[in-house]
Amino acid sequence: MPAKAPPGLTLLEGREALREWSAEIPDGTSLGFVPTMGSLHEGHLSLARQAASTCSKAVVSIFVNPLQFGDPEDFSRYPRDPLADCALLADAAVDAVYLPAAADMEASIRRRPAEGPAAERWEAEFRPGHCEGMLTVVGEFFRQVGATHAFFGEKDAQQLFLVREMAAASFPGLEVVSCPTVREPDGLALSSRNARLTADDRKLALALPESLAVLAGGWEGGERGIAVLEEILAASLKREGVQVDYASLVDDPTFHPAGPSLSGPWRACVAARVGGVRLIDNLLLGGP
Ligand code: PAF
């Protein structure tokens, strides 16, 4: 826990501190919220900057949520560096950082994804309990923070879809804002997990953005057959050392598997393990 807040940043250590800080915010003020698990990179900071620049007040939470890790080892190995994170957030001009204790996040409501493929497939299938654990903690943050806007990255497209569904059902005053994926110059999507890749695995991890680029090439070349596009994606992602969880096209507005009865646009979603590190990425076909 940082001993002292960097200048300009208020540290809210625990729920009581959040309550006191929120009580000072005049009614009608726009409040932007960015939930994170810390170990911040440029992707998180782009969300924090957008919250700070578009809302009158901005708060970022840092909480490594045990409920969304199936594997306790993955949870314990998740990188943590709140001191460095707070310095970065002060530079991003956010007003406050909420650092809840585990007891502060004991949720009164266990949230489950609404029914449908997004509740059962892709991340839900390969990480049992992950979506429920993520929604439970995000729902609890929404309840506690009372933000007007919440900012999420497009890299976790299924998470964004599920959070939007939950917000529409349970937090009507809250606008969920999506922000583009931030990438390394060679195309790898930023992730806190990238730090765990060895130099060789870092090269192999490029299979994810490269497969999406090959798919985009097929799409731009006029291919529209869903099965063919999925084959192009899977064939390009598959290589030695890359263990593919899924490579699928989904209907972006509904997160149903892409199919002739749906109108799209399609989003290609991939997940794979490289040297024991699980990575995800996606691309909206025909998008900007
Ligand atoms: O995307 C993440 O880092 C997490 O799923 C979130 C939204 C912070 C909830 O723990």
pLDDT over 80 (residue 4): no
How sure is the predictor about 77, in pLDDT bands with cuts at 50, 70 and 90? confident
**CA 276 to ligand 1 centroid distance, Å:** 20
Sorted by where each starts, the structural domains of the chain and their CATH numbers stand as 10-179 (3.40.50.620), 192-283 (3.30.1300.10)
**CA 284 to ligand 1 centroid distance, Å:** 21
The atom number, within ligand 1, closest to the CA of 64 reads: 10
Pocket perturbation via mutation, ligand 1, pick of 39, 47, 59, 65 by most ligand atoms within 8 A of CB? 65
The atom number, within ligand 1, closest to the CA of 138 reads: 9
Average pLDDT of span 24-49: 97
Pocket perturbation via mutation, ligand 1, pick of 45, 85, 145, 159 by most ligand atoms within 8 A of CB? 159
**CA 196 to ligand 1 centroid distance, Å:** 18
Average pLDDT of span 46-67: 97
Average pLDDT of span 90-113: 96
Average pLDDT of span 52-66: 97
pLDDT over 80 (residue 288): no
pLDDT digits (tens, 9 = 90+) for 201-210: 999 999 999 9
The protein residue with its alpha carbon nearest to ligand 1, atom 9, reads: 134
Average pLDDT of span 25-42: 97
How sure is the predictor about 2, in pLDDT bands with cuts at 50, 70 and 90? low
Average pLDDT of span 90-100: 97
Average pLDDT of span 150-169: 98
The atom number, within ligand 1, closest to the CA of 192 reads: 3
Residues taking part in catalysis = 44
Average pLDDT of span 184-200: 96
Which range has the worst mean pLDDT, 63-72, 213-222, 274-283?
63-72
From residue 282, give the alpha-carbon distance in Å to each of 152, 227, 257.
Answer: 14, 17, 14
Residue 9: phi and psi, rounded to 5, are: -115, 130
The string of DSSP letters for 10-59 reads: EEEESHHHHHHHHHTSPTT--EEEEEE-SS--HHHHHHHHHHHHHSSEEE
Q: Is 287 in contact with 251 (CB distance < 8 Å)?
A: no
Average pLDDT of span 242-257: 98
pLDDT over 90 (residue 70): no
Pairing of strands 266-274, 242-251: antiparallel
Average pLDDT of span 99-126: 96
Q: Is 11 in contact with 20 (CB distance < 8 Å)?
A: no
Q: Check residue 1 and give its pLDDT.
A: 64
pTM comes to: 0.96
**CA 37 to ligand 1 centroid distance, Å:** 6
User: Ligand 1: residues whose CB is within 6 Å?
Assistant: 35-37, 65, 68, 134, 137-138, 156, 159
The atom number, within ligand 1, closest to the CA of 35 reads: 8
Burial 62-81 (b: 16+ CB within 10 A, else e): bbbbebbbeeeebeeebeee
Q: What is the mean pLDDT of the chain?
A: 96
Q: Check residue 64 and give its pLDDT.
A: 96
For the chain, give the number of residues. 288
Pocket perturbation via mutation, ligand 1, pick of 137, 140, 160, 282 by most ligand atoms within 8 A of CB? 137
**CA 134 to ligand 1 centroid distance, Å:** 6
The protein residue with its alpha carbon nearest to ligand 1, atom 5, reads: 134
pLDDT over 70 (residue 153): yes
Q: Check residue 224 and give its pLDDT.
A: 97
Query: Where is pLDDT greater, at 228 or 2?
Result: 228
Q: Check residue 3 and give its pLDDT.
A: 61
The atom number, within ligand 1, closest to the CA of 163 reads: 7
**CA 60 to ligand 1 centroid distance, Å:** 11
